[in-house]
Amino acid sequence: MSEKQVLVPDAGHPITITPTTGRVVVTLGERTVADTTAALTLQEASYPPVQYVPLADVDPAVLERTDHATYCPYKGDAGYYSLVVDGAAHDNAVWTYEQPHDAVAEIAGHVAFYPNVVDVRTYPSA
């Protein structure tokens, strides 16, 4: 079995992680699934920025762990959750890097959501 490649962000593939200013609210339909003032914004290369929400600020009643997993050479092994709201399951709609690579260690304990499944909104601080 070959070892997984580990890449470090650099000028050719930058990754920045900054505290999100204000509040982040994640909804699925009418249901709020996450609400936090402690989100992190991860900006990777030219991809759209992603909000990483502390797992503690996600409604645990809507999360169902799955066996799905992926690997990113910059961030590490990702685990997944399905969102179950109003009896409907949205498979693997949430991902997490429980033991991310050192370069992105700040995202440990956080989850991110696929924007085609949920609505992620940021609100400025009052």
Strands (E), 29-102: 31-36, 40-44, 50-54, 63-72, 76-85, 88-96
The yes-or-no verdict on residue 8 having pLDDT over 90 is yes
Measured CA to CA, the distance from residue 25 to residue 75 in angstroms comes to 24
Mean pLDDT, residues 84-93: 96
The yes-or-no verdict on residue 7 having pLDDT over 70 is yes
Express as a percent the part of the chain with pLDDT over 70. 98
Instruction: State pLDDT tens for residues 54-79.
Output: 999 999 999 999 999 999 999 999 99
Mean pLDDT, residues 28-33: 96
Look over the chain and give the mean of its residue pLDDT values, rounded to a whole number. 96
Q: How confident is the model at residue 1 (pLDDT cuts 50, 70, 90)?
A: low
The yes-or-no verdict on residue 25 having pLDDT over 90 is yes
Give residue 2's pLDDT: 73
> Are the beta carbons of 112 and 106 closer than 8 angstroms?
no
- Could you give the domains of the chain? 15-123 (2.170.150.40)
